[in-house]
Structure 1
Amino acid sequence: MTPRVLQIIGWALPIGAAAAVAAWGLLRLIGLITNLVFYQRVSSAMVAPGAAHPPAWLVLVAPVLGGLVVGLMARYGSEKIRGHGMPEAIEAILMRRSRVEPRVAVLKPVSAAVSIGSGGPFGAEGPIIMTGGAVGSILAQALHLSADERKALMVSGAAAGMAATFNAPLASVLLAVELLLFEWRPRSYLPVVAAVAVATIVRGPLLGTAPVFPMAADALHPGAAAELLCVVAGVIGALLAVAVTALVYFSEDTFARLPLHWMWWPAIGGLIIGIGGLIEPRALGVGYDVIADLLSGRAAISLIVGILIVKSLIWGLSLGSGTSGGVLAPVFMIGASLGALEGLVFPAVGPGFWALIGLAAVVGGVMRSPLTGVVFALELTHAWPALLPLLIASSAAYGVSALVLRRSVLTEKIARRGFHLSREYDVDPLEVLYVNEVMHTDPACLPMTDHVGSAALLLERTVPRPEGRGGDTPVREPLQRLFPVVDADRRLVGVVPRQSLAEAVGSAPPTADLLLTRPVVVHDDDTLRTAASLFAEYGVTAAPVVARDEPDRLLGLVTVEHLLDGRLRDLAEHHHRERLITPGRWVRGGRRRQADPL
């Protein structure tokens, strides 16, 4: 870790505090608009739109007007406010070098508050991720930072906003790692943790420190039978996750075919929401009260079924309209309702247990973030005895979802815009091999006193790979493209590129006339990743290898083809199958052991 990382951590601290205040402000704004629209009063308390059974005309009209306002804000403010926040944050990180427009920091939370406050069945977490990320990005853009450092601060703000919204610091860090950072390094992890810690502390006086959905954890006593059934719950949760993901993108495709400007789409989505609200009013809004009822075991069967069907439909269909709102709270509600329905059939474990399992399973299936789903469920409820069942259900859902769907609801949108996105973490094969394992130890060299006319035969010289490297994968030995120049003591003086040598063979100038005296060199104890970075930085495809303690002592030559040896080893380990222990060898080995007097 470098002192530069400490500076980034220092900048992450105020970003965490600002993101917490932004989260508090967004929740208050949602409460204010909800109260104004559905209760005709001035209050910023969080209330459910359908709790007081508002008039049918209001349930139908309010989401339409809210969608119209969001469409106008996107058309004439910034199109970046469309969507549920996470894909937009990922796109900003990967495609725009973590640059977010300042107006997005204002328009995104306002549009989300309008959408949710007018009855939209969305969550506040997606908008606050984009808002907190915008706060971090704006500060980073005002500083002299690299794109990676801007990413660290942007993700710090996003994770801090999430932590302040749900009082879930560890889950927010995991979400940052699993969804936003695309790496696990001190330079990005530590700033995120610093921002999340500050945001969680600042949240205390603003929103409290209690769990958002407290459960009676002492009443939970899952046994082996329940834990086995968690696999079934995970599979069912994954199938539901696949269904709602398909619904979201069916909706998006359908809206894209409409002969209307996209500005009007959120209003049409609002009409869908209003119709659903007439069927089940409690499906409107963020739905924290419904999640609490489901996790406490107080929900009636009519509410469970109504939420499962209506919430899934209006959320999936309206989200495709490009309105502003998050996916996490709706997924919590849909998953908890599925689990509560399963709890009517599965053996009783404790109040809300199966609803909690369903919540984690659907999160694991929809977001493809199994660890985030587990920790979120635990931090939201403090139901620590459910750790193992949650891990089983979430991982089972993740596995089924990964088998059935190529991409999650978060990454499909980015893929549809023509970008490739991978969320699989793996050790870089170039990081585990050293240069001295793959380099050519006997390259053809030019003496400093020679003329290049006598070196014509060297142009046919190839650079062989070390024997056995790359498993069973066939390799092609390239022509030597760089010739080290050495003095009488075999000390490296410089290099002559192959092209220069080929052009000068006929005229036979002295070697010194073609000499590059300050070549790019690598050390024998460098990793292949370090060598690849040097090749990319200086635009070379070959370099002499020297000793670190004797920079003029030539040890060999490494080329870009040698760098592929790390990939070849990775391919061999992935595809080459062999049986190392056979029954006959085992028996013979056993006989030898029996005969061994020792």
Structure 2
Amino acid sequence: MKNILTRLYKNGLGIHSVLSGDKENFEIISREGYLRHVFYLQALGAGAGILTVGAGMALSWLIRLIANLAFFGELTAGTRLLAESEAGMWLLLIPVAGACLSLLLLRRSRNPALQLPAQVVNIGTGAPLGVEGPVMLIAGAAAIQGQRRLRISGPEAHLLLVAGAAAAVAWYFGAPVSALLLALELWLSSWSLLTLLPVLTAILVGGLAHYCFHDMQPFFAMKPGPELNTPAFLAYLVLGLIIGLMSVGIIRSSRGLARLGERLRRHSPWWLLLAAVPVGVLGYLAPESLGNGEAYGSDLLKAHVTLQLLFVVGVVKLIAWLFFTGGNNTGTTITPLLIMGGAIGMLWAVVALGICPGVVIDPVMAALIGMGALFAGVTRAWLTAIVLMLELTHYLPAALPVTGAVIIAVLVSWPLIKTRRTV
């Protein structure tokens, strides 16, 4: 079954550059022994899920190890806030040094097997990318490298890349339904037994692994707020409208920087180090902007933040993220969009309460709505955005305001960007 919503989804920024190619080129042709091949691909999907979970744990540990060594001079793998680093002026150079090392690893190649260690180094040295990014590449890198031994075609290797990426979302965020929707909305060009079973199996493995290691706890703990009322609901729709317009500027800026980066890359790949300079400069001026900001997610949804932190995470980090992802043409990852959107949503709530003190607006709900609206506005994966907010927080009362704001954000931003320019 063809994806009838392709036109809606094609104008957003991809979740990952490796997964953001022309998916119409990845049609899988049925072979003789159809059912046997379906079950074989399903078994490979299960293997992709197991590999993603196992290697994902190792990569998460390695990223923490690199971050602690780079920012604290300690050879440990504990979780620490990069903002607590006392590296001083070295904060200017650490992201640039990481980008330099990643360029040496890439050598102009877009092979997922080479992008994986490069992204690990970038994230460990403060780049505004989510840890889930390299985890999403693990199974695909293995499938592409072992394509002949596995006796699969190029499109089938791409299918395993999608299966591994979906398993990574299910495992890392504890969001199996969102992982499936993300694959259907953005990564699969056709829906059939042959394409869905491997993805579903990988998601099942990833989801089970998450619940085995993390029980049923939400990824972000959220503080319950006041009951929804009509004025507040209308205010949340206005927030969706504002973030939808912001998404247009973000997409255009990212593509403009990507085109500039491509021109510079033609002369010398070392020009791309310029994309890491804003990360270092802004990280030195505001250390909270370093990294993906995942540690601030629960703080946002519990209202344990200051106005300064909201500005740094919502505005300063957005600038650093735009330069790095646009200049390197990496595509986005999920976590930075959620954190930046949450900070922007809460900032808007603070301003709205100052203008209209009589309206009962919950800043925590505004933060959650900001997360979903920015994710949907930038990626166009609106169904995923709605379900993801509920899976991340396990907070069902947010369903109506999140749905309304997400739909408004997509409806506002989609007509303003009609064509997707590729670089």
Distance, in Å, in 2 between the alignment partners of 1:117 and 1:400 is 36
| Matching of residues 67-78 of structure 1 within 5 Å | 67-75=99-107
Residue 242 of structure 1, aligned match among 232, 237, 248: 248
Residue 373 of structure 2, aligned match among 355, 361, 364: 361
Cα 1:10–1:55 shift into 2, 3 Å: closer
| Matching of residues 327-406 of structure 1 within 5 Å | 327-344=333-350, 345-346=352-353, 347-350=359-362, 352-406=364-418
1:416-447 per-position Cα deviation (integer Å, ceiling 9, x unaligned): 24xxxxxxxxxxxxxxxxxxxxxxxxxxxxxx
Q: Does 1:45 align with 2:86?
A: no
| Matching of residues 31-42 of structure 1 within 5 Å | 31-42=64-75
1:227-268 per-position Cα deviation (integer Å, ceiling 9, x unaligned): 322321111111111122222122223334448844323422
- 8 Å contact kept, 2:105–2:117: no
Q: Post-superposition shift, 1:159?
A: 0.7
Q: Tell me what 1:189 maps to.
A: 196
SS in 2 for 1:320: helix
Q: Percent identity?
A: 30
| Matching of residues 471-550 of structure 1 within 5 Å | none
Q: Post-superposition shift, 1:205?
A: 4.9
Q: Post-superposition shift, 1:384?
A: 1.6
- 8 Å contact kept, 1:220–1:351: no
Superposition RMSD in Å: 2.4
| Matching of residues 50-89 of structure 1 within 5 Å | 50=83, 52-75=84-107, 79-80=109-110
- 8 Å contact kept, 1:115–1:325: no
Cα 1:112–1:146 shift into 2, 3 Å: closer
Q: Does 1:125 align with 2:157?
A: no
Q: Post-superposition shift, 1:140?
A: 5.2
Cα 1:44–1:202 shift into 2, 3 Å: same
Query: Normalised by the size of structure 2, how large is the TM-score?
Result: 0.84
- 8 Å contact kept, 1:70–1:323: no
- 8 Å contact kept, 2:82–2:287: yes
Q: Post-superposition shift, 1:167?
A: 1.6
- 8 Å contact kept, 1:135–1:157: no
Q: Does 1:7 align with 2:7?
A: no
Q: Tell me what 2:56 maps to.
A: 23
Distance, in Å, in 1 between the alignment partners of 2:227 and 2:249 is 31
- 8 Å contact kept, 1:127–1:324: no
- 8 Å contact kept, 1:120–1:284: yes
- 8 Å contact kept, 1:265–1:321: no
Q: Post-superposition shift, 1:378?
A: 1.4
Asked which structure has the greater RCO (Cα within 8 Å, sep 6+), the reply is: 2
| Matching of residues 300-339 of structure 1 within 5 Å | 300-322=306-328, 326-339=332-345
Distance, in Å, in 2 between the alignment partners of 1:216 and 1:309 is 24
Distance, in Å, in 2 between the alignment partners of 1:294 and 1:250 is 31
- Residue type at the aligned position of 1:79: S
Cα 1:149–1:267 shift into 2, 3 Å: closer
Distance, in Å, in 2 between the alignment partners of 1:24 and 1:223 is 43
- 8 Å contact kept, 2:349–2:362: no
Q: Does 1:113 align with 2:120?
A: yes
Q: Tell me what 2:13 maps to.
A: none
SS in 1 for 2:336: helix
SS in 1 for 2:104: helix
Q: Tell me what 2:10 maps to.
A: none
Q: Tell me what 1:297 maps to.
A: 303
Distance, in Å, in 2 between the alignment partners of 1:186 and 1:317 is 40
Q: Does 1:153 align with 2:183?
A: no
- 8 Å contact kept, 2:349–2:363: no
Distance, in Å, in 1 between the alignment partners of 2:360 and 2:294 is 24
- Residue type at the aligned position of 2:50: A
1:496-521 per-position Cα deviation (integer Å, ceiling 9, x unaligned): xxxxxxxxxxxxxxxxxxxxxxxxxx
Q: Does 1:274 align with 2:306?
A: no
Distance, in Å, in 1 between the alignment partners of 2:264 and 2:201 is 46
1:110-155 per-position Cα deviation (integer Å, ceiling 9, x unaligned): 2112111111111123332233322344455433345554443231
Cα 1:187–1:350 shift into 2, 3 Å: same
Higher strand share: 1
Q: Tell me what 1:571 maps to.
A: none
Distance, in Å, in 1 between the alignment partners of 2:261 and 2:157 is 35
| Matching of residues 204-223 of structure 1 within 5 Å | 204-206=211-213, 209-217=216-224, 219=225, 221-223=227-229
- 8 Å contact kept, 1:155–1:176: yes
Which is higher, the Rg of structure 1 or of structure 2?
A: 1
Q: Tell me what 2:294 maps to.
A: 288
SS in 1 for 2:255: helix
Q: Tell me what 2:176 maps to.
A: 169
- Residue type at the aligned position of 2:91: V
Q: Tell me what 1:472 maps to.
A: none
- 8 Å contact kept, 1:24–1:165: no
Distance, in Å, in 1 between the alignment partners of 2:161 and 2:265 is 37
- 8 Å contact kept, 2:106–2:115: no
Cα 1:261–1:292 shift into 2, 3 Å: farther
Count of residue pairs brought into register by the alignment: 384
Q: Tell me what 1:228 maps to.
A: 234
- 8 Å contact kept, 2:65–2:77: yes
Distance, in Å, in 2 between the alignment partners of 1:150 and 1:337 is 38
Distance, in Å, in 1 between the alignment partners of 2:248 and 2:95 is 26
- Residue type at the aligned position of 1:318: F
1:272-320 per-position Cα deviation (integer Å, ceiling 9, x unaligned): 1111112221110121112222122111111112222211111101222
Higher helix share: 2
- Residue type at the aligned position of 2:414: A
- 8 Å contact kept, 2:72–2:85: no
Q: Tell me what 1:587 maps to.
A: none
Cα 1:291–1:276 shift into 2, 3 Å: same
Distance, in Å, in 1 between the alignment partners of 2:53 and 2:150 is 22
Cα 1:193–1:249 shift into 2, 3 Å: same
- 8 Å contact kept, 1:136–1:156: no
1:9-54 per-position Cα deviation (integer Å, ceiling 9, x unaligned): 222112111111122222111111110011111222333211x142
- 8 Å contact kept, 1:331–1:362: yes
Distance, in Å, in 1 between the alignment partners of 2:258 and 2:185 is 25
